[in-house]
Amino acid sequence: MESTLQRDEKHLAENTSPSNNSINHVGSTEEVDLATVPNPTSKLQRFANRLEAAAGIEARGIERVPESERERKYAVKDYLYMAMIWFSANCTANNMAVGILGPIAYDLGFVDAMICCLFGTILGSYLTAYISTFGPVSGNRTLVIARYTIGWWPSKLCVLLNLVIELGYGVVDTIVAGLILSVVNGSGMSVIVGIVIAALISWMVSTFGIKFFNMFERYTWIPQVCILFIFVSVASPHFDTTTPSAATCTILIGNRLSYVFLSASGPLGWSAAAADFYVYFPLL
């Protein structure tokens, strides 16, 4: 019995050695011999691979992106891509709605609201940017990384909360986009039709994967900036920069803090997917 136990322990140690499981480790730098990887046995996986090859749709799910698929050096275009993707993704109507809540919901003056919104956005952006750095390091999606940082079962709570966030953002974005399309069209288009159009465009961008998303975000910021300049030029004569905040003392402090964290929640909403955009980026 003792010899059998020793053989079992030896067999277990060999099968669980780091060299055999290095592909599953976060941040592993060992190269994977793709020739030894078996072909997918699932019909759905084979169909997904054929679809990816034919139409360019990203078939990779939560699987880790190995270093062999992202061995290259950083170029200037990579840094431009990082700037454009976040500028484009946050230069949207729903974030403008957050910007006007300071005076409306918290009775803050123009200067107070602008400063609180600025520092809240910087705080949320900094935290999201930190999470995004795990993408090139590990090659894993954000919620997959959560398995290694907080454990298997707690990460499921993160997934559940992320579903709520994504559904909420999707509903708000499509409704706002539908309202804008309806107004711009001169009431010739109903809000429901505008919502359906916005939902279909979002579905196309998300279905075709990160490559199509990169191309989409590379140019979509141009009309957004033009619209923002139009908004500012129309609304600037009505800006009230002299009226102070309505509340005083502790109530004013509470309103300021509330608005700071409300502003931070905008970029923080991307934190659950921040590393996903960089899984194809190489290590520095």
How many residues appear in the chain? Answer: 284
pLDDT mean over 269-282 = 85
Q: Would you state the structure tokens that stand for residue 191, as one six-digit string?
A: 């809000």
**Residue 14 binned pLDDT confidence (cut-offs 50, 70, 90):** very low
**What is the rounded average pLDDT for all residues in the chain?**
78
Closest C-alpha to 72, from 263, 225, 284 = 284
Q: Would you state the structure tokens that stand for residue 162, as one six-digit string?
A: 């992320």
- Does the pTM surpass 0.95? The reply is no
Q: List the domain boundaries for the chain.
A: 27-278
Is residue 90 within a helix (H) or strand (E), and if so which, with residue range? helix 76-90
What pLDDT is stored for residue 71 in this prediction?
65
